[in-house]
């Protein structure tokens, strides 16, 4: 490596970001572009992807809309992709339901998007030789996946727990190809969803006190951890679940 180039730089790398239309995915796309990457943005909503595209630094970025809950669309996405040096598997959603109210379709929907889709996407990227040697794959998991969950969050916790477990297996299998696989496990991140009025400001402030650093995370703070895992700075890191939680898990 050129001694003048930071090991955290993504210059010369092409990075695919799923769920890039909002929240952590959008922040990841923006910060990757600032770090020098060419970014491929994907999600279902073309208009919101276009908004994300306009926030990026640099040139040569691509928007490829795709419903990752649709196998045919995943195949089309992979066919249109250039060779990648990194992937951020970020697309996902949650639905809060107490255990006795969980229904089969809701559970299947969450597993399909949060767990099955990113695994099948990775499988197809490998099959179609879209990952360059030395690539890095980053999954967005959750602190909930590691047992720090909440009442009513069972479906999401199960879906992300599977992701965090899968990371270890994928890292082991792909190590022979020089491909690294890791996950980030954020605590509560303020993506704007919390300001929709369903939770009072007083409740939010009380909940923040569960975090030793006294606040929720910012999307860009998760993105910076992803950049570390995508960059050469983490070239000896694979199979890990990186906790980013403002100290929540040490309480």
* DSSP H helical ranges for 102-186: 104-111, 117-127, 154-174
Structure tokens of 164?
């965090």
Q: How far apart are CA 205 and CA 201, in angstroms?
A: 6
Q: Strand, coil or helix: what is 197? A: coil
CB within 8 Å of 153: residues ≥ 6 apart: 94, 96, 144
Q: How far apart are CA 229 and CA 153, in angstroms?
A: 27
Sign of CA dihedral 14, 178, 228, 146: positive
By annotation, the residues acting in catalysis are 156
Q: Tokens 């908004």: give the residue.
A: 51
Of residues 114, 21, 128, the one with CA closest to residue 69 = 114
């Amino acid at each position: 490596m050129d001694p003048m180039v930071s090991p955290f730089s993504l210059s010369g790398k092409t990075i695919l970001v799923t769920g890039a239309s909002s929240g952590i995915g959008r922040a990841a796309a923006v910060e990757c572009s600032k770090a020098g990457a060419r970014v491929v943005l994907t999600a279902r909503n073309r208009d919101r992807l276009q908004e994300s595209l306009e926030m990026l630094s640099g040139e040569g970025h691509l928007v490829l809309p795709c419903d990752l809950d649709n196998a045919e669309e995943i195949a089309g996405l992979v066919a249109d992709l250039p060779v990648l040096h990194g992937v951020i598997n970020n697309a996902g959603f949650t639905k809060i339901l107490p255990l006795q109210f969980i229904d089969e379709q809701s559970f299947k929907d969450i597993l399909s998007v949060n767990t099955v889709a990113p695994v099948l996407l990775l499988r197809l990227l490998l099959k179609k030789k879209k990952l360059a040697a030395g690539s890095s794959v980053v999954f967005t998991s959750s602190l909930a996946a590691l047992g720090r969950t909440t009442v009513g969050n069972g479906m999401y916790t199960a879906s992300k727990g599977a992701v965090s477990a899968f990371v270890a297996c994928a890292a082991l299998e792909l190590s022979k190809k020089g491909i690294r696989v890791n996950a980030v496990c954020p605590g509560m991140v303020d993506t704007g969803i919390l300001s929709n009025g369903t939770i009072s400001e007083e409740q939010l402030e009380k909940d923040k006190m569960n975090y030793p650093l006294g606040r929720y995370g910012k999307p860009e703070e998760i993105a910076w951890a992803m950049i570390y895992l995508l960059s050469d700075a983490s070239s000896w890191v694979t199979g890990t679940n990186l906790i980013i939680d403002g100290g929540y898990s040490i309480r």
